[in-house]
Amino acid sequence: MAKSASSESTKKLGTQHITLLVVLIVAIFSLFQFKVMPSAVMGFINYLFAPSGEELQKLEMVSYDGSCLASSSKEAAAKVIAQGAHDPNKELINGEFIFDFTFKERTLDENGYAKTSSEWVAKATNLGEFQIILEPWIAFWYLSLVIAIVLSLLITMFLPSSIGFMAILFDLQVDNTKAKIRLQTGFQDEIVDLLTRTDDKLAEVDSQIAEPYFRTIWERTESDVRSDKRVLEFDEVFDENVDIVRFREIHLYPRIKEFFSDFVLKEIEDTKNGIHWRRNHIHILKGFRLYMAHHFTEKYSNMVTGMAYGGAALLVVSVGIRGLKFIPAAKPSIILFSTLLEFTMLCLMALTMLYTEEEERMDKMLKKMEDSNKSSLESLKSQQHDIHQLTNVLVGQSAEIIKTRVEAAITGYMTSDDNVKKVVAQEISEKILHGMREAFANPVNGQHK
């Protein structure tokens, strides 16, 4: 059932994944920075500050090549349109409304207003007397880059794991989460594979093949807490005709949740959804949740929070400098950059918090601690009873037992012929040795006698 280690080891992030991702980011960044962003910003500014009411009776907004709008009188506007509106002409625009978001240089003598190729210009009666200058390579490059990265990562989720950057990360996370489940539960690979299989694939497994593995799960998750309620046995709910998909859902998953934790069960369910994505990359939300909930949030949540605070600090400093007039109102690019930076950081932080697994409720933790303490108490009571019995034997009844056994040992020793002969022989040998020592010690006295 489990994949071989050699097949899993071949799946890794390679040069082709990074190269394709970089190419996508560069291409999408260029598209947004030079095409989409100028049009989007111009549309937003035009929506807010375009002429209206009586102003439209006196002038007309003419659209030039690229993202450029400029106001002219009714007669001049007709002449510009007849000639072909390519670039604003000093003689044909009135300079009251100018929305130029092109990367072209403009001069006062030729176009009626001045800007460099790296500046965008917005001028309207509601914006004040002077034109607003935006620098896209300060204010909007970061937003274009973020959009490019997000879209590139999204595209690589749909690609095959052999070339898709996010696809290989999702694929690896499926195997990594299965390994975590195995370490947390102690179940072997075959059991983890059955627990994380999709419903349709599990339904193809024969119940006789699944039976020993499901029995192992059942016995491993048996509660030690004694209860008056009768506990179901495995054989009472599992037979050869059982629906193993329904059995896993109704009987095994709740036992795993109760015995281990909610988080382990969530890992199993998310891994099952990740396998859905592995079979069909259209289900990107399933793979995305697995990666975010069980890898990204665990590893990078603190870093994301730190980046959000850093962006907030930069925004505070920028607004403070603006308040001191060191950043002129006519050039708000730095303020825009700081605002967009903090906006994206807060969005990333919100996404991270959305997929962060909630801590187990305190009441559930206390209940598990209580059950554990009850189990320990029952065990201690049993041990106490055994120790009390042992104490009674050693203290209360041991005197008679020891006395009887000592008397029996002495009687047996004294009635044994071998022991009597041994004692007599030992006494005779000691007497002979004693007499010889005295004879050798007094030889003269011995001869005289």
Identify which has the larger pLDDT, 152 or 384: 152
* Dist CA 137 CA 101 (whole Å): 12
Same domain, 350 and 366: no
Q: Do 237 and 382 have their domain in common? A: no
pLDDT above 90 for 435: no
Average model confidence (pLDDT) across the chain = 83
Residue 296: inside a domain = yes
Q: Give the pLDDT mean for 71-88.
A: 87
pLDDT at residue 5, as a whole number: 45
Among residues 277, 323, 35, 305, the alpha carbon closest in space to that of 158 is found at 277
Phi, psi of 281 (to 5 degrees): -70, 0
Task: With cut-offs at 50, 70 and 90, classify the pLDDT of residue 84.
Answer: confident
Question: In this structure, is residue 376 part of a structural domain?
Answer: yes
For residue range 284-306, what is the model confidence (pLDDT) as tens digits? 999 999 999 999 998 999 999 99
347 lies in the same domain as 367: no
For 311-352, the pLDDT digits (tens) are 999 999 988 888 878 888 889 999 999 999 999 999 999 999
What is d(CA 351, CA 355) in angstroms, rounded to the nearest whole number? 7
Residue with the bigger pLDDT between 37 and 361: it is: 37
Q: Is residue 83 part of a domain?
A: yes
pLDDT in tens, 381-390: 555 555 555 4
pLDDT at site 65? 86
Verify that 124 and 254 share a domain, yes or no: no
Average pLDDT over residues 40-45: 92
In this predicted structure, what is the pLDDT of residue 231? 74
Does 408 map to a domain?
no
Contact 357, 297 (CB under 8 A): yes
* Residue 360 pLDDT grade (very low, low, confident, very high; cuts 50, 70, 90): low
The secondary structure of residue 125, as a DSSP letter, is G
Looking at the fold, whether 254 and 387 belong to one and the same domain comes out as no
Rounded to an integer, the average pLDDT of 404-427 is 63
Residue 119 has a pLDDT of 94
For residues 251-273, average pLDDT: 92
pLDDT tens-digit map of 237-257: 888 889 999 999 999 999 999
Task: Place 103 in a pLDDT band, splitting at 50, 70 and 90.
Answer: very high
Cβ atoms within 10 Å, residue 86: 11
Are residues 311 and 371 both part of a single domain?
no
Q: Is residue 203 part of a domain?
A: yes
Please report which confidence band the pLDDT of residue 23 belongs to, taking 50, 70 and 90 as the band edges.
Answer: very high
Distance from C-alpha of 16 to C-alpha of 275, rounded to nearest angstrom = 23
With 0.85 as the threshold, say if the pTM is over it: no
In a domain, 435, yes or no: yes
E strands present in 13-108: 59-64, 68-73, 98-100
Residue 6 lies in a domain: no
Residues 250, 298 share a domain: yes
Tell me: do 332 and 377 sit in the same domain.
no
Whether 10 maps to a domain, the answer reads no
Residues 289 and 221 placed together within one structural domain of the fold: yes
Whether 342 and 295 share a structural domain: yes
- Which residues on adjacent β-strands are paired with residue 132? 122
Q: Report pLDDT for 285.
A: 94
> Could you count the other beta carbons within 10 Å of the beta carbon of residue 246?
11
57-61, 133-137, 357-361 — which one is most confidently predicted on average? 133-137
Greatest Cα pair distance in the chain: 175
Task: Look at residue 410 in the predicted model and tell me its pLDDT.
Answer: 63
Q: Is residue 81 pLDDT above 60, yes or no?
A: yes
**Looking at per-residue confidence, does 334 or 223 come out higher?**
334
For residues 429 and 194, which has the higher predicted lDDT (pLDDT)?
194
Q: Are residues 376 and 271 in the same domain?
A: no
Does one domain contain both 205 and 311? yes
What's the pLDDT score for residue 52?
84
What percent of the chain is modeled with pLDDT above 70? 76
Alpha-carbon distances of 359 from 262, 294, 318, 364, 365, rounded to whole Å:
9, 14, 37, 10, 10
Residue 442 has pLDDT above 80, yes or no: no
Residue 58: its pLDDT value, please? 85
Q: How many domains does the chain have?
A: 4
Residue 4 scores a pLDDT above 50: no
CB atoms < 10 A from the CB of 158, how many? 12
Domain range spanning residue 249? 164-354
